Amino acid sequence: MKLSEMFASLSRSAQDLEQRMGEWEKDLSQRSAEWMESGKQWLADAQKRDDEMTAQLKGYVDQASDQVKAQWTKAQGEWDAEVVRIRGIADGLRADAARMSARERAEWSEAYAAQMVNFAQKMQEEAGKALAEAAEARAQAEADKKPG
């Protein structure tokens, strides 16, 4: 193989690589936009569910006894304070991540999102337990009302 043929081959390979990298970058950009849109939709859906749950919860509390209302108000205040604390931690972590390279920030954001999904699943599990307890307590209250 002549030296000129070798350089021509290397040049073609480099051009092919540049083209592939361009395609990969385009694909990644498109996926990034899809992921962003998916995240925004999830956030909007989560806000809607939160609003629905808040309205439902308000209905429950409005019908509750004063003792239950007082306990709920205390718990709600503590949970709200915990959410503010966690958001503060997240803001600090994001500030640290802002100093990373774009690739590291992407990896960090993906890991953070996975962690938050995991946390949300744990909270959903807790909510499921609370719903089961509520159903059992409601059934017991109904059974206690019936003359026996």
Sketch the domain layout of the chain as residue ranges.
66-99, 109-148
User: pTM higher than 0.95 for the full model?
Assistant: no
Write the pLDDT tens digit of every residue in 10-61: 788 878 878 888 888 888 777 777 878 888 888 888 889 888 888 887 887 7
pLDDT for residue 95 is more than 90: yes
Identify the three-state secondary structure at position 98.
coil
Write the pLDDT tens digit of every residue in 96-127: 999 999 989 989 988 988 888 888 888 888 88
What are the residue ranges of helices labelled H in 64-101? 66-97
Q: How far is CA 47 from CA 8, 20, 54, 74, 90, in A?
A: 58, 40, 10, 23, 19
